[in-house]
Structure 1
Amino acid sequence: MTDPTPLVCIPKGMLREAPLSEAHRIWAEANGFDGQEGKLLALPGENGISAYAFGVGDESQRSPLVLGLAAAALKPGAYRLEGAYGDPTLGALGFRLGAYRFTRYRHADAAPELVLPDGADAAEVDRLTQAAFLARDLVNTPANDLGPDRYEAVIRDFAEARGMNVRVVAGDDLLAENFPMIHAVGRASAEAPRLLDLSWGQEGDPKVTLVGKGVTFDTGGLNIKPGNSMALMKKDMGGSANVLGLAHAIVDAKLKVRLRVLIPVVENAISGAAFRPGDVLPSRKGITVEIGNTDAEGRLILADALALGDEDKPDLMIDMATLTGAARVALGPELPPLYARDEAFAQALVETGMAIDDPLWHMPLWGPYDKLLSSKVADVNHISSGGLAGSITAALFLNRFVAPETNWAHLDIFAWAPEARPGRPFGGTDQGVRALYGVLKGRYGV
């Protein structure tokens, strides 16, 4: 095996202080290299490339995952870090996350590999890399290979590999067991709707319940989406994919929690059985729901799942969902809104996420907007009148299905990187997983 190639990390403006030979320093200067963030420069040797210089940018502005940009650009091979790369665990994690490739349907060069630097937590790097790759692979897989039937099989395999118990309620059994909104949303598909209920951990440990939106494809239903809006709807199960990534990290780290994972899995299809605008649906919570638009289906299936999770009186319940376009209009694709009843928990999530480049933005459960969900024929309409504050009103709708005393948080994620950035190649992506895991590890770590 050949020795790993050095990757010399150099902050902006610090070329003179970098561990380079004088010849390499002159070469870098001649090529306009001065540590600019993301700039990769091959350094010549007697028999070809002897090392690479990589710019990590200005310390006050750079992403802690900046080494992901190097991994995205490097050719296959083994590399080792030199120079100023900061925290070794975050540096190694950034490199590994940036080396992600989705190769299920096409050939691609092998990803570069990194020799872990001294001081890096190998278990943590592996754990968080696997969590991210799991979520990304699922989101990137198209619906023809990940419909409800196949998704259930994937989740069962996931659970079996981690010693988790699994229970599934599917088809008309959803009606018999009082999950009417999950059934209504998914009944038009050729593949039955279902609810997967996973559990792990010791009885008596704090109960942490995760709920993930699992819409394997969203046509919009009878309020059909235009083609440009439907093109990415394979990612509408991104909430559940990220929940599974988070569950992997929790189980792998053996956090002292009684973990429950609830994933309603449906395809929002169109047929004679499709639910309609103007329908009034019962719900598990006993709240009647007027359907304002069938393209707002995610909150319906989440509501039944949240109501179930709440019956167990968890110490903490978190849901993740690709829920609203309004969230992207307000905050863009990189910054998911976070809604939480516990202000201290929300602050911890924001601070943790910002420190590791997994950002979240705390948004209010603004009570005065609750009136926008009023209905003249049912207890509530599931969309707001007028279309304003769409992400907030979606969160307020879910809020009705969770008892006021429950510590509940909701993440309205995008699960997609429309352009590459440090540690996140283009395509399906993880969001909120590392921030949530970091806070949960701080609370429940062994």
Structure 2
Amino acid sequence: MSPRFADPSAPSLPLWLVRPGESGPAFPQDTGAATRQWAMAQGFKGNAGQVCLLPAPDGTISGALYGIGPVAAATGRPPRERYLLARAAETLPSGNWRLACQPDGFDAALGALGWLFAQYRFARYKKAEPPSAWLVCPDNVDQTRLLALAGGEFLARDLINTPTSDMGPAELEQAARDLADRYSAEISVTAGDQLLAQNFPMIHAVGRAGAQAPRLLDLRFPGDGPRVTLVGKGVCFDTGGLDIKPAASMALMKKDMGGAANVLGLAETMARLGLTRDIRLRVLIPAVENAISSNAFRPGDILTSRKGLTVEVNNTDAEGRLVLADALALADEEAPELLISMATLTGAARVALGPDLPPFFCDDDRVAAALQASGRDHADPIWRMPFWEPYESMIEPAIADLDNAPGGGFAGAITAALFLRRFTGRARHYAHFDIYGWQPSAAPGRPKGGAGQGMRAILNALPGILT
């Protein structure tokens, strides 16, 4: 389904937003004494997520109070619930609702976005109950922008949630073609042995054992201005290759194309907002399945990359960086103003920061600060980690230029990022995002399953980075 707001001309019920106070809830002035007494009798305190339905004289519902907790800035900590109104969308009775007030410190745009995010349902294989509580877009909020943000998020979630039986390299290609058709973008696809002929040897090596041919998807959106290139890892399933994963580690590997899903979702939002008119947006996705067959690449193989660097394969389960390397080398040949890679790349990143806080790597302090501030301000948290130069020697084996899986077990997210950086150098700015792409347990506005990460942080930081 597509996200939507309620028709503002249709009847709607008022929703008062209330914060806790020192001596009780900080009720808005236009709530009467009877309403306040009713709420206090129900134990309503204004804590985040609390709902108090208000009765009309005829026994119907006349509105509701909804607790939004203290101002986040006052606590100095991010709120436990990222989207304050998402829980309201999931718990209020069916019907149309409108915000009757907007307390100081409340971000109405973020609240409305959370309400939209709560509408998401993945119903491709199983019937799901549709949303029943709808929000009238608040005053002074850009409805078009919020619907574009939610549309990009929904696309990323759908792509990740779809199992590989219906989202292999060919189906991921079709998703990219559909996006290109919607926004008059050009798309070219290099597949199978054409990858060797056109010098993408590592994409070919990783994907040649798959049931579907490996391919490189290349989308260019019509526009003029600085070059911005997004590269997303599109490993549609990762068995680990000949270094096969145990069954438990394979359970979520349909999400190993989460980087591709995120760059497609980001491109969807940018195109819907018309931002692609003022930049030259390019999206590159190496789409493969890391499978096992007689022609699978092997531990110990030496691969020669598009850039000419040789790579010793010390673990076939570190395949994402191999396919990204060829795509990054291609992207870097144009010397874009901004080059971004997104990938579900390392377990080390999850160990360091958990599933909810993806690390990113960037050498430019100004760009990194813009990205991190944007993530903080738009409830899309990310955390900077270093391209730590002293670890460069860890990715330099004895018999090749690079090692795709250095031993020792230390700094796995950093060494992977350092590996990718070797395939850039002409781009003015490069940032790499090591995302998880998955919500492991349901939270308001974030159902269990595929998740966008870093998209809004990047989107809202772009104007500052490109100036």
- In the TM superposition, what whole-angstrom CA distance separates every residue of 1:203-235 from its partner, at most 9, and x where no partner exists? 5x1000000001111111111111221111111
- Please list, as runs of the form range in 1=range in 2, the aligned pairs for 1:9-408 lying within 5 A after superposition: 9-13=17-21, 15-18=25-28, 19-45=30-56, 46-60=58-72, 61-62=78-79, 65-84=83-102, 86-111=106-131, 112-203=133-224, 205-255=225-275, 256-403=278-425, 406-408=428-430
Cα RMSD of the aligned pairs, angstroms, is 1.8
Rounded Cα–Cα distance in structure 1 between residues aligned with 2:421 and 2:37: 61
Change in Cα spacing, 1:444 to 1:119, as seen in structure 2 (3 Å) is: farther
Q: TM-score normalised to the size of structure 1?
A: 0.95
Deviates more, 1:122-131 or 1:35-44: 35-44
* 1:427 partnered with 2:452: no
Give the secondary-structure state (helix, strand or coil) at the position aligned to 1:42.
strand
Rounded Cα–Cα distance in structure 2 between residues aligned with 1:421 and 1:228: 24
Deviates more, 1:359-368 or 1:5-14: 5-14
Give the match for residue 418 of structure 1: 440
Q: Does the 8 A contact of 1:76 with 1:109 survive in 2?
A: no
Rounded Cα–Cα distance in structure 2 between residues aligned with 1:246 and 1:282: 31
Change in Cα spacing, 1:76 to 1:172, as seen in structure 2 (3 Å) is: farther
Q: CA deviation at 1:2?
A: 6.0
Change in Cα spacing, 1:80 to 1:405, as seen in structure 2 (3 Å) is: closer
Q: Does the 8 A contact of 1:175 with 1:183 survive in 2?
A: yes
Give the secondary-structure state (helix, strand or coil) at the position aligned to 1:145.
coil
Change in Cα spacing, 1:122 to 1:310, as seen in structure 2 (3 Å) is: same
Rounded Cα–Cα distance in structure 2 between residues aligned with 1:366 and 1:253: 37
- In the TM superposition, what whole-angstrom CA distance separates every residue of 1:76-130 from its partner, at most 9, and x where no partner exists? 4322112336233222112111222222222222223211011111111111111
Q: Percent identity?
A: 52
Q: Give the residue type in structure 1 aligned to 2:91.
A: A
Equivalent residue for 2:14, pick from 2, 6, 18 = 6
Q: Give the residue type in structure 1 aligned to 2:457.
A: A
Q: What stretches of structure 2 of length at least 5 have no aligned partner?
A: 1-8, 73-77
Change in Cα spacing, 1:176 to 1:367, as seen in structure 2 (3 Å) is: same
Q: CA deviation at 1:251?
A: 1.8
Q: Give the residue type in structure 2 aligned to 1:328.
A: R
- In the TM superposition, what whole-angstrom CA distance separates every residue of 1:370-389 from its partner, at most 9, and x where no partner exists? 11112122111111220100
Q: Give the residue type in structure 2 aligned to 1:73.
A: T
Rounded Cα–Cα distance in structure 1 between residues aligned with 2:396 and 2:465: 38
Q: Does the 8 A contact of 2:184 with 2:222 survive in 1?
A: no
Q: Give the residue type in structure 1 aligned to 2:41.
A: A
Rounded Cα–Cα distance in structure 2 between residues aligned with 1:406 and 1:232: 35
- In the TM superposition, what whole-angstrom CA distance separates every residue of 1:297-330 from its partner, at most 9, and x where no partner exists? 1111000000000011111100100001100100
Q: CA deviation at 1:424?
A: 2.0
Q: Does the 8 A contact of 1:16 with 1:25 survive in 2?
A: no
Q: CA deviation at 1:236?
A: 0.7
Deviates more, 1:135-144 or 1:26-35: 26-35
Give the secondary-structure state (helix, strand or coil) at the position aligned to 2:68.
strand
Q: Give the residue type in structure 2 aligned to 1:15.
A: P
Deviates more, 1:194-203 or 1:77-86: 77-86
Rounded Cα–Cα distance in structure 2 between residues aligned with 1:194 and 1:137: 21
Q: CA deviation at 1:405?
A: 5.8
Give the secondary-structure state (helix, strand or coil) at the position aligned to 2:281.
strand
Q: Give the residue type in structure 2 aligned to 1:107.
A: K
Q: Does the 8 A contact of 1:44 with 1:50 survive in 2?
A: yes
Q: CA deviation at 1:422?
A: 4.4
